Amino acid sequence: MAAKKSAAATTKKKSDRDAATLSKIEKLARSVLAEATRGHNPALEIRTRALSNVSFNTKKKIIELGDRTQSREFFNTAMVRKFMQTMLVASKCKTLIDEGKTVSIRQMYYMSKHTLPNSTENTFEDQNESDPIIEDLEVGIDALREELHLFATRRGSVVGQLVIEDAGDRIDLARMGRGGWSVPSICEPDVIAFVQCKAEFILYVEKDAVFTRLNEDGFWKKHNCILMTTGGQSTRGARRLLQRMSLELKLPIYVLVDNDPWGLYIYSVLKQGSIALAYESMRMAVPNVRFLGMSSFDYVKYKLTSAVQIKLKKEDVARAEQMKAYPWFKDKKWQREIQELLDNGFKMELDGFLTKSISFITDEYIPKKLRDHDFLQ
């Protein structure tokens, strides 16, 4: 019953939202046309998505996009191509909304790609050109990616003590076999609802291999939790899902990443958002996410041998130094953690625990960490 009702509500809500998005796109087009008609230089105001326009909101503990905008003008040789591309993507998004279809950003790249008449130039030469334009449009007209009927590459798996409903299908995440339920790129309440949750916490791991290890070992059954991975940097969908689980299910979230600057950054993005998607932080950041490991101090704590050491590269050191300077890592314990990494002079992978035994991570490492409340936040 409930399911049906929510589905109906979903379609209703969707069309409202589409109408709003459509009017945003039309407003953009009308203002450009009006400017040109008045003999002015048509310009799109787009909030600057760069470190210089990003700030750390210490109260909300998230990275926020500042108010600084940059004008993208048509009659400007440096901007005209991007201007054209932005309008092109806007028009294709309108088509998507009109037809009620959703495509990936790669498909959007192909939808908007064509060769300009009498030249060899394409409207877009590769996806690296169209992806930022899509983000520009999101910021420019203040619409979410899913509102534009676009989704990013999907990545991520979940298993565990949770029953959800995805577009009307009820799915028990405890019965997903070895692969887990794959996280869609759009995880908004109108498509995904949490039906029943028996889990006590969520464990998010960076690596797919570790996810498989834990799943095979039945970790989530034993510890009554939800297990999730995105295999590397987290995706929008996964982050949105994590935030919703945190807020709606009120579960603590533990993050397990490799002991290197890259792992730290994955944690950092989950916690307070990224620079590139700073405008989405509100919807994605999970400020109370906990850093379970792998800590630089674990080498000694868990009596690991030199076999797990991977020498820090020059770029690793530079990246670590850079992160040490981020305002959101200013806390003493974070400074200590990063400094220890630098002092060690080596990094470690979660897989390194296999030097101990196959299931050391499942049976000893994580349980002890949880028991000892040995995490950073």
The catalytic site residues sit at 110
Which residue stretches of the chain are H helix?
A: 2-37, 80-99, 105-112, 127-141, 208-216, 219-223, 236-244, 261-272, 281-284, 298-301, 314-325, 332-344, 360, 366-371
Q: Does 95 bind another protein (CB under 8 A)?
A: yes
Q: Does 333 bind another protein (CB under 8 A)?
A: no
What are the backbone angles phi and psi of residue 310, rounded to the nearest 5°?
Answer: -120, 120
Separation between Cα atoms, residue 226 and residue 202, nearest integer Å? 5
Q: Does 84 bind another protein (CB under 8 A)?
A: yes
Angstrom CA distances, 268 to 63, 223, 274, 291, 321, stand at 10, 25, 8, 9, 15
Q: Does 101 bind another protein (CB under 8 A)?
A: no
In the complex, minimum distance from the CB of residue 94 to another protein, in angstroms, rounded to a whole number:
5
- Binders of another protein: how many residues, by CB under 8 A? 30
First and final C-alpha spacing in the chain = 40
Give the CA count within 13 Å in the CB-facing half-sphere of 137: 34
Separation between Cα atoms, residue 182 and residue 155, nearest integer Å? 7
Token code pair at residue 296: 């630089």
CB nearer to another protein: pick between 25 and 286: 25
Q: Does 26 bind another protein (CB under 8 A)?
A: yes
Angstrom CA distances, 340 to 22, 74, 336, stand at 51, 51, 6
CB nearer to another protein: pick between 84 and 310: 84
Q: Does 99 bind another protein (CB under 8 A)?
A: no
Q: Does 37 bind another protein (CB under 8 A)?
A: yes
CB nearer to another protein: pick between 88 and 253: 88
Part in contact with another protein (CB under 8 A); list of ranges 2-10, 34-42, 127-135, 209-217: 34-42
Q: Does 87 bind another protein (CB under 8 A)?
A: yes
Separation between Cα atoms, residue 361 and residue 107, nearest integer Å? 40
Query: In which element (H, E) is residue 253 found?
Result: strand 253-256
| CA-closest candidate to residue 220, choices 351, 40, 229 | 229
Cis status of the peptide bond prior to 84, with omega within 30 of 0: no
Q: Does 80 bind another protein (CB under 8 A)?
A: yes
Amino acid at 205: V
Q: How many CB atoms lie within 10 A of CB 318?
A: 12
Instruction: Choose, by CB under 8 A, the member of 8, 19, 20, 29 that binds another protein.
Output: 29
Part in contact with another protein (CB under 8 A); list of ranges 70-78, 165-173, 288-296, 335-343: 70-78
What are the backbone angles phi and psi of residue 198, rounded to the nearest 5°?
Answer: -110, -5
| CA-closest candidate to residue 125, choices 114, 111, 134 | 114
CB nearer to another protein: pick between 32 and 203: 32
In the complex, minimum distance from the CB of residue 91 to another protein, in angstroms, rounded to a whole number:
4
In the complex, minimum distance from the CB of residue 86 to another protein, in angstroms, rounded to a whole number:
9
CB nearer to another protein: pick between 28 and 292: 28
In the complex, minimum distance from the CB of residue 141 to another protein, in angstroms, rounded to a whole number:
11
CB nearer to another protein: pick between 81 and 198: 81
Q: Does 177 bind another protein (CB under 8 A)?
A: no
DSSP conformation class of 184: P
Site string (107-146) toward another protein, x via CB under 8 A: ---------xx-x-x-x-----------------------
In the complex, minimum distance from the CB of residue 36 to another protein, in angstroms, rounded to a whole number:
4
CB nearer to another protein: pick between 97 and 255: 97
Q: Does 41 bind another protein (CB under 8 A)?
A: yes
DSSP conformation class of 116: P
Part in contact with another protein (CB under 8 A); list of ranges 89-97, 172-180, 244-252, 342-350: 89-97
Token code pair at residue 302: 């868990």
Instruction: Choose, by CB under 8 A, the member of 74, 109, 267, 291 that binds another protein.
Output: 74
Applying CB under 8 A, the residues found at the interface with another protein are: 25-26, 28-30, 32-33, 36-37, 39-41, 74-75, 77, 80-81, 83-84, 87-88, 90-91, 94-95, 116-117, 119, 121, 123
